[in-house]
Amino acid sequence: MRFSKVGWIKIRYHRPLPEHTTTKEATFKKERTGEWYVTFSLETDDTDLPEKPALESLDTSNSVGIDLGIQNYIHTSDGKTVDWLDLDDEYERLRREQRKLSRKEHGSQNYKKQRRTVAKAKRKIRRTVLDYQHKLTTWLAKEYDAIFVEDLNVAGMLQDDRNARNKQDAAWRQFITLLEYKGNLYGTHVVQVEPEGTTKECAKCGGETLKRIWMREHSCPACGFETDRDANAAMNVLQRGFFELGQGWPESTPVETVTATDTAQFESMSASHVIETGTPNP
């Protein structure tokens, strides 16, 4: 391809450019690994995107609330949990390469070469998380007509406690951005709701119960409703999502039918299952 002020450059496409699109700009970027990438910004006709379902057709059977959890990557209001990615091997490799880098003479050719190796180890972690999120958000967008998720202050959360590495691995803001993108791509409503109080409030009666971070069960002293802590939060997210859309909570569907109160009945999905059964990278 020929670029202004640069000339002709041979490039290798990650995938063919879609038809019926207009290329608006190209951005060049040099990675720390020493490799160059070019990213194309395309303009497409929005009429090609599928229409989202009518709001009146939404109910708890085709909608889901998502709690971005600590023990699980996500916990849904209909009783599904998805595990965290196992990145222990990747982090061990990164630490090993970083130790090698610390032993190199700063500024030497060996130092520069090892720094690129460290950059590749970091890139592998970043790409593994992104690949996982692409496949998870694709599954969610195809599975439901409406998805409700917390509007989290991720930057503040990374500063609040010592669990920053796990939260960075989660890349929740990136996850939410991808979820919104997939919602437009597959015709799914994606709505962010106020996150404050979703853990403390009882999904059945609305009463508040203070929970420490290590308390994993929700037990309401007011109405006796018991379930998993994250499941309760996901149900609150689901309810807030309906109110955010101006629909109100469907009274014909009591909270007990949204998910099982027995945590043993929750359907657990491993991270490897999501990767193996997911669609190829979009």
- Domain boundary assignment for the chain: 1-48, 51-83+128-277
Phi and psi of 128, rounded to 5°?
Answer: -65, -45
Average pLDDT over residues 219-242: 85
Query: pTM of the predicted model, to two decimals?
Result: 0.79
Residue among 78, 145, 150, 180 flagged as catalytic: 150
Active site residue 230: yes
Q: Name 146's bridge partners.
A: 63, 189
Dihedral sign computed on CA atoms, order 27, 134, 75, 165: negative
- Say which range, 15-24, 171-180, 199-208, 211-220, has the weakest mean pLDDT: 211-220
Which CATH number does 51-83+128-277 carry? 3.30.420
Dihedral sign, CA of 47, 130, 231, 197? negative
**For residue 280, what is the DSSP state?**
P
131-162 pLDDT, tens per residue? 999 999 999 999 999 999 998 765 555 555 54
Residue of 180, 201, 228, 230 marked active site: 230
From CA 213, how far away is CA 163, in angstroms rounded? 12
Given 67, 90, 201, 228, which residue is catalytic?
Answer: 67
At residue 253, the pLDDT reads: 52
88 vs 250, residue with greater confidence = 88
Average pLDDT, the chain: 81
131 tagged catalytic: no
Active site residue 169: no
